[in-house]
């Protein structure tokens, strides 16, 4: 599994305690991420999709150890050595920070308004003691040019730029220390559609040039289809389906994936509407999920077994896994080519 992988996540779990009273007694847990396992190949993009509250961002932050996980392994393969990041202390993690970076959702709030573009982009280089003096300035100039920013503006502050330009600054900051893995957390969702296309094309060009590996978190499946080699679908903290992008979009094997695909707007008015009409109901409370399959209260195909037993995540085709009791019986509708 790790032969061509940069990152293998095994059984990753993150529970947030629910506390009550003056003594802060723990009375329950929010199951933000619940025993998720996935793999990201070198130089490839894994898209991570699901409704808001499904645990996508929490998983991404756990992978980077921005927050501590409850259980599981995060196996990072670097220079022939495999390291479980989950076992490292905060001090030991500092050595791996330069190999992993994040591009945040909001391109304004993720940038310090009191710092110039030069200060923002150079900060990872200075913290990791990678460059100083003339070499530092040259590196900042290089990465700003790579992301399409005019180096004449590097003494300006973030408020002087548009949303797309601010996101380019965020990308430059992430790219400055030559990371291997970049977690893109809704990296284009706050941008106009035309600007989204520019940023997505930039990310793809950078990936090709520097062999970057992306974990691309998004709720817009149209965007995910454009940038991802594989797609993983999360629901209430669990992984319910993972497949190569084309296979997942044309032949989904989980009812939740089918429902997500049916909600994608279609620009052709002459095309018939899909038989399924989106997703009915609301996402369950992750602190008190339903028994059996978490999706069964909203699933049009649910049977009694779905309410009683949790379906295992099984491989139904090479690289294609699904967690549904009736994965072999159901004929689900995807998007036409």
CA pseudo-torsion sign 140, 146, 147, 153: positive
Residue 272: C-alpha distances to residues 7, 50, 267 (Å):
41, 25, 11
pLDDT value of residue 175 = 92
Q: What is the pLDDT of residue 1?
A: 41
* Mean pLDDT for the stretch of residues 243-260: 95
Tokens of 315: 């491989």
Task: Give the torsion sign (CA, 170, 111, 196, 55).
Answer: positive
Provide the token pair at 233. 């679908």
The helix/strand/coil state of 47 is strand
* Tokens found for residue 284: 């369950």
**Whether the predicted pLDDT of 3 surpasses 60:** no
Q: Is the pLDDT of residue 266 over 70?
A: no
- Helix or strand (DSSP H, E) at 29: strand 25-41
Contact present, 219 and 57 (Cβ < 8 Å):
no
180 pLDDT above the threshold of 50: yes
Angstrom distance (rounded) from CA 42 to CA 332? 31
The more confident residue out of 188 and 229 is 229
What pLDDT is attached to residue 2? 42
* DSSP strand pairing (230-235 vs 45-49): parallel
Mean local confidence (pLDDT), 235-250: 95
Q: How far apart are CA 168 and CA 159, in angstroms?
A: 14
Which residues are paired to 25 by β-bridges?
A: 20
Strand order in the sheet with 71-78: 25-41, 5-20, 71-78, 81-84
DSSP code of residue 310: P
What b/e readout covers 50-89, taking b as 16+ CB neighbours within 10 angstroms? bbebbbbbbbbbbbbbeeebbebbbbbbeeeeebebbebe
Give the integer Cα–Cα distance in Å for 1 and 298. Answer: 34
Tens of pLDDT, residue by residue over 76-85, are 998 889 999 9
What fold characterizes domain 5-235? Rossmann fold (3.40.50)
* pTM reported for the whole predicted model: 0.90
In this structure, what token pair is assigned to residue 104?
């945040």
Percentage of the chain exceeding pLDDT 70: 95
- The domain ranges of the chain are 5-235
Which whole number is the average pLDDT over 102-122?
91
- What is the spatial order of strands in the sheet that 100-103 belongs to? 100-103, 181-185, 213-217, 45-49, 230-235, 238-244, 320-322, 314-317
Average pLDDT, the chain: 90
Range of weakest confidence among 94-108, 143-157, 288-302: 94-108
d(CA 258, CA 221): 12
Task: Please give the Cα distance from 48 to 53 (Å, whole number).
Answer: 13
pLDDT score, position 131:
86
Mean pLDDT over residues 88-99, rounded? Answer: 88
Length of the chain: 337
Look at residue 273 and tell me whether its pLDDT is greater than 80.
no
Query: What does the pLDDT read at residue 78?
Result: 87
Say how many CA atoms lie within 13 Å of 173 toward its Cβ. 28
Nearest to 105 by CA among 52, 178, 155: 52
Beta strands per DSSP E along 186-333: 213-217, 230-235, 238-244, 314-317, 320-322
Burial classification of residue 247, based on how many CB atoms lie within 10 Å of its CB (0-12 exposed, 13-18 middle, 19 or more buried) = middle
Contact 252, 332 (CB under 8 A): yes
DSSP classification of residue 8: E
Question: Is the pLDDT assigned to residue 275 strictly greater than 60?
Answer: no
């Amino acid at each position: 599994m790790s032969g061509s992988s940069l990152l293998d996540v095994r059984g990753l779990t993150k529970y947030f305690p629910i506390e009550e009273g003056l003594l802060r007694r723990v009375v329950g847990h929010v199951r933000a991420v619940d025993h998720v396992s996935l793999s990201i190949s070198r130089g490839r993009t894994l898209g991570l999709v699901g409704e808001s509250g499904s645990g996508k961002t929490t998983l991404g932050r756990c992978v980077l150890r921005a927050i501590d996980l409850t259980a599981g392994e995060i196996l990072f393969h670097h220079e022939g050595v495999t390291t479980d990041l989950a076992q490292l202390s905060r001090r030991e993690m500092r050595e791996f920070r330069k190999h992993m970076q994040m591009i945040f959702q909001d391109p304004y709030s993720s940038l310090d308004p009191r710092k110039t573009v030069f200060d923002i982009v150079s900060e990872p280089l200075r913290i990791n003691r990678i460059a100083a003096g003339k070499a530092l300035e040259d590196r900042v100039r290089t990465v700003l040019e790579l992301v399409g920013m005019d180096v004449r503006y590097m003494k300006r502050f973030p408020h002087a730029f548009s949303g797309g330009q601010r996101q380019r600054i965020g990308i430059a900051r992430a790219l400055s220390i030559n990371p291997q893995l970049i977690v893109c957390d809704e990296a284009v969702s706050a941008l106009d559609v035309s600007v989204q296309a520019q940023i997505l094309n930039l990310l793809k060009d950078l990936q090709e040039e520097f062999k970057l590996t992306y974990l691309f978190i998004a709720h817009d499946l149209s965007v995910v289809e454009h940038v991802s080699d594989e797609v993983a679908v999360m629901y209430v903290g669990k992984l319910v389906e993972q497949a190569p992008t084309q296979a997942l979009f044309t032949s989904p094997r989980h009812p939740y994936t089918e429902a997500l695909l049916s909600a994608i707007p279609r620009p052709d008015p002459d095309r018939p509407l899909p038989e399924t009409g989106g997703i009915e109901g609301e996402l369950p409370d992750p602190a008190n999920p339903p028994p059996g399959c978490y999706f069964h209260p909203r699933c049009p195909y649910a049977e009694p077994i779905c309410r009683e037993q949790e379906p295992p995540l099984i491989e139904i085709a090479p690289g294609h896994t699904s967690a549904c009791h009736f994965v072999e019986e159901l004929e689900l509708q995807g998007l036409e080519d």
